[in-house]
Amino acid sequence: MSTIVDHGYIPEEHAPDPVTSHGDPLPPGKVAIWLFLASEIMFFIGLLGTYIILRSGQPKLFADQHEVLSKPLAATNTLVLIFSSLTMAMAVDAAHKLNRTKTIVCLLITFLCATTFMAIKSVEYYDKYHHYTVVASEGPADAKKFFVYDGHVHEPNADVMKLDGYKMEITGPSFNINLISEHEIDLMSNGGKHGDAKEFEIPRASIAQAIWYGPWKSNFFASYYILTGVHGLHIICGMIPIFILLVQAIRGKVKGPAIEYTGLYWHLVDLIWIFLFPLLYLI
């Protein structure tokens, strides 16, 4: 059966596919995954739009507060993700060439890279969880002096808070704790240069305000947590199919198209990080 009649019944399996009838065959799954990626791009540009607005409203705050984040950790994470993109591309290539061993090895490395990325991300989040800004007073009741501290605290609920960081004198207790950052206090208390962190002991009774570096710290950290958080969620969501494909490959089933579509998603997650890294950590 080789002719196609214009008017008449064409069994589904013989009908010319409207997508694949011209040029190379294009599987519907590929169209579907690209449409999904297009929707992902629009999802992230929405969040980046809020970032643009917030940043343009407070350029100095964004410039100061991003210094609190660790550039070496983020740069390492960028390299880990680019490397995982490489191994994912090689896994797709190996799967198409039906090279099972290479597919397994590449998928495994990709999965381990994703785990490493999330581990480093956790270290960053954990560091911020212990990072505090504190306003406290010193001296007798009639001549109180107020100070703002910024640094790492490991027992925030102890009677004496031990804070490893920087200290600066301020005018009063009603100081805006959200707008100051460790970087700014460091520079202002050391005459415009970076100084060494010192350990301070702050009695609990003298504390007027305290806040840790969560999303409520400032608009910068709100942007930071939503963008990296949603991106991290995408990493975890990518790890699930990679793991399933890995198990299937080990059991002997190398699913070329599925690996290819997962790979496309994985590259997009990498691509989004390529933009987040400079926007949140470097500029």
Size of the site for another protein (CB under 8 A): 79
Q: Is 257 in the site for another protein (CB under 8 A)?
A: yes
Q: Which is nearer to another protein, 241 or 256 (CB)?
A: 256
Q: Is 163 in the site for another protein (CB under 8 A)?
A: no
Distance, CA of 133 to CA of 182 (rounded, Å): 8
Length of the chain in terms of residues written = 283
Q: Where are the alpha helices (DSSP H) in 13-99?
A: 28-57, 59-65, 71-96
Q: Closest approach of Cβ 144 to another protein, in Å?
A: 18
Q: Is 100 in the site for another protein (CB under 8 A)?
A: no
The sign of the CA dihedral 60, 61, 65, 66 is negative
Could you say which residues in the range 37-56 bind another protein, by CB under 8 A?
37-39, 41-42, 45-46, 49, 52-53, 56
Q: Closest approach of Cβ 185 to another protein, in Å?
A: 9
Write the CB contacts of 42 (distance below 8 Å, at least 6 apart in sequence).
Answer: none
Return the bridge partners of 200, or none.
163
Q: Closest approach of Cβ 274 to another protein, in Å?
A: 5
Q: Closest approach of Cβ 67 to another protein, in Å?
A: 11
Token readout for 169 is 């004198």
Write the CB contacts of 11 (distance below 8 Å, at least 6 apart in sequence).
Answer: none
Could you say which residues in the range 12-41 bind another protein, by CB under 8 A?
13-14, 16, 19-26, 30-31, 34-35, 37-39, 41
Q: Closest approach of Cβ 255 to another protein, in Å?
A: 6
152: phi then psi, degrees, rounded to nearest 5: -95, 135
Could you say which residues in the range 180-199 bind another protein, by CB under 8 A?
180, 184, 188
Q: Is 179 in the site for another protein (CB under 8 A)?
A: yes
Q: Is 70 in the site for another protein (CB under 8 A)?
A: no
Distance, CA of 88 to CA of 266 (rounded, Å): 8
Write the CB contacts of 120 (distance below 8 Å, at least 6 apart in sequence).
Answer: 73, 76, 77, 80
Helix (H) or strand (E) holding 127: helix 100-129
Q: Which is nearer to another protein, 35 or 240 (CB)?
A: 35
What does the CA dihedral 266, 271, 276, 277 come to, rounded to 10 degrees? 100
Q: Which is nearer to another protein, 156 or 244 (CB)?
A: 244
Q: Closest approach of Cβ 160 to another protein, in Å?
A: 26
* The one segment of 84-92, 138-146, 202-210, 230-238 that binds another protein by CB under 8 A: 84-92
Could you say which residues in the range 225-254 bind another protein, by CB under 8 A?
253-254
